[in-house]
């Protein structure tokens, strides 16, 4: 009697076990392909993200390289600008020195020209031409000689001032040569046909 009840129980248990096994097999057959699909999708997404990150890294490195190149060029340009500025400053200093030298030279030339002009004016003022002149008023006392050799008749006369030629101290009439005279204050000097007299 007891055995008869045990057989159905065992059979039922076995059936349940088989059913569970069958049910589990069905569930596993459904779940594994889905999991594999999701895993593949995640792996693909991971690979895509890794590729994107690699691309960003490459882009970053490229930009860093460009930045470094730009910085190098900027540094070189700045150094070149500094050198150019130094060269310009040096050139400007040279030009300033040259300008000072030119200014000094121009001043010296002007002074020499002024001195020459004064000398020429003095020489010109000291010349004695045709006419009668009073020594100490019209002409300076001193020795004089004709500037160029006489060609033709030349008469000169030294007389006491205020005598209208009546008190002749010295005179001469020549036809050539370069006569000379010594004049003193208080005398009148007359010259005709002798040309220009200059300080001896």
Q: Is the pLDDT of residue 10 over 80?
A: no
Residue 52 structure tokens: 């994107």
How far apart (Å, rounded) are the C-alpha atoms in residues 112 and 106? 10
Q: Got the DSSP string for 22-85?
A: HHHHHHHHHHHHHHHHHHHHHHHHHHHHHHHHHHHHHHHHHHHHHHHHHHHHHHHHHHHHHHHH
Q: Is the pLDDT of residue 162 over 90?
A: no
User: What pLDDT, on a 0 to 100 scale, did the predictor assign at position 31?
Assistant: 63
Q: Is the pLDDT of residue 153 over 90?
A: yes
Residues 179 and 194 sit within 8 Å (Cβ to Cβ): yes
Chain mean pLDDT for the chain: 85
Residues 185 and 142 sit within 8 Å (Cβ to Cβ): no
Residues 170 and 157 sit within 8 Å (Cβ to Cβ): yes
C-alpha 128: how far from chain center? 58
φ/ψ (deg, to 5) at 67: -65, -45
Query: Which of 134, 113, 117 has the alpha carbon at shortest distance from 184?
Result: 134
- pLDDT tens across 42-100, in order? 888 899 999 999 999 999 999 999 999 999 899 999 999 999 999 999 999 999 999 99
**Residues present in the chain in total:** 200
Q: Is the pLDDT of residue 140 over 50?
A: yes
Q: Is the pLDDT of residue 135 over 90?
A: yes
Mean pLDDT of 140-152: 96
Q: Sketch the domain layout of the chain as residue ranges.
A: 33-126, 128-199
What pTM did the predictor assign? 0.47
User: What pLDDT, on a 0 to 100 scale, did the predictor assign at position 163?
Assistant: 86
- pLDDT tens across 19-31, in order? 444 444 444 454 6
């Amino acid at each position: 009697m007891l055995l008869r009840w045990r057989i159905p129980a065992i059979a039922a248990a076995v059936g349940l076990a088989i059913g569970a096994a069958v049910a589990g097999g069905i569930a596993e057959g459904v779940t594994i392909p889905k999991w594999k699909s999701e895993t593949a999708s995640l792996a693909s997404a991971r690979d895509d993200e890794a590729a994107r990150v690699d691309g960003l890294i490459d882009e970053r490195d490229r930009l860093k390289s460009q930045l470094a190149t730009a910085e190098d060029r900027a540094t070189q340009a700045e150094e070149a600008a500094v050198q150019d500025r130094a060269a310009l400053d040096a050139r400007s200093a040279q030009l300033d020195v040259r300008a000072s030298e030119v200014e000094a030279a121009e001043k010296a030339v002007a002074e020499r020209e002024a001195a020459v002009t004064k000398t020429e004016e003095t020489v010109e003022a000291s010349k004695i031409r045709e006419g009668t002149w009073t020594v100490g008023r019209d002409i300076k006392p001193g020795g004089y000689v004709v500037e160029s050799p006489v060609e033709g008749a030349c008469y000169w006369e030294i007389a006491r001032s205020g005598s209208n030629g009546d008190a002749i101290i010295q005179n001469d009439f020549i036809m050539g040569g370069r006569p000379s005279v010594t004049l003193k204050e208080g005398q009148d000097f007359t010259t005709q046909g002798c040309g220009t007299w200059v300080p001896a």
